[in-house]
Amino acid sequence: MKRIARFHKVSKERFESDWTDTFGEAVEGQKPIGEIYEAIRLPKRATKGSAGYDFFAPAAFTLKPGETVKIPTGIRVEMEYDWVLKCYPRSGLGFKYRLQLNNTVGIIDSDYFYSDNEGHIFAKITNDTKEGKTVEIPEGTGFMQGIFVEYGITVDDDADEIRNGGFGSTTK
């Protein structure tokens, strides 16, 4: 196995800013933001044969059918330049509840780590159940998985721009 990446937590200031921007100052029934930050776990593979690194919920979330939540994970990833991290819902959640990432597959490019937002990885998920099921994601449980994939470029590629930002920042 090639070892090509390392997960980090974003700074406490970055997490608190992004969490507040997403949820406001306080979420009813949840711990203070500082405690949520301290409890963040870095993504981890469950078994030796697992391809995916599980991302753990920084807080508990409940999604009724059709509901969506944007989750600041508190995680960033540093990886070699010819690799990408692809993010998907955990298989069991997708199978049982049709839990889906709103952009279908999250693509985390290697240069995202160096963005002004520290490369903070967000997950926007929707409970797309057709069976009326409510999804409960307890704090600290895996809800998304990331898989590292090596990629190539065309022989005539001449990209020389530098990223600074997330969604849509490379097509401005």
Query: How do residues 52-91 score in pLDDT, each as one tens digit?
Result: 999 999 999 999 999 999 999 999 999 999 999 999 999 8
The DSSP annotation for 55-120 comes to: EEPSS-EEE-TT-EEEEE--EEEEE-TTEEEEEEE-HHHHHHH-EEETTSSEEEEGGGGGSTTTT-
Residue 160 falls inside a structural domain: no
| Whole-number pLDDT of residue 87 | 98
Residue 9 falls inside a structural domain: yes
pLDDT tens digits in sequence order for the chain, 172 residues long: 899 999 999 999 999 999 999 998 876 777 899 999 999 999 999 999 999 999 999 999 999 999 999 999 999 999 999 999 999 999 889 889 899 999 999 999 999 999 999 999 999 999 999 999 999 999 999 999 999 999 999 999 999 888 676 545 454 5
| Whole-number pLDDT of residue 169 | 47
Closest among 58, 53, 105, 47 to 79, alpha carbons compared: 53
| Whole-number pLDDT of residue 168 | 52
- Domain holding 82, by residue range, is 5-150
Judge contact between 167 and 123, C-beta under 8 A: no
Residue 121 falls inside a structural domain: yes
Find the DSSP H helices in the chain: 12-23, 33-38, 91-97
Residue 78 falls inside a structural domain: yes
Residue 143 falls inside a structural domain: yes
Q: What is the pTM of this model?
A: 0.91
Give the amino acid at 86.
Answer: K
Looking up residue 64, the CATH number of its domain turns out to be: 2.70.40.10
| Whole-number pLDDT of residue 163 | 66
Quote the number of domains for the chain: 1
Residue 93 falls inside a structural domain: yes
Residue 156 falls inside a structural domain: no
| Whole-number pLDDT of residue 164 | 76
Residue 164 falls inside a structural domain: no
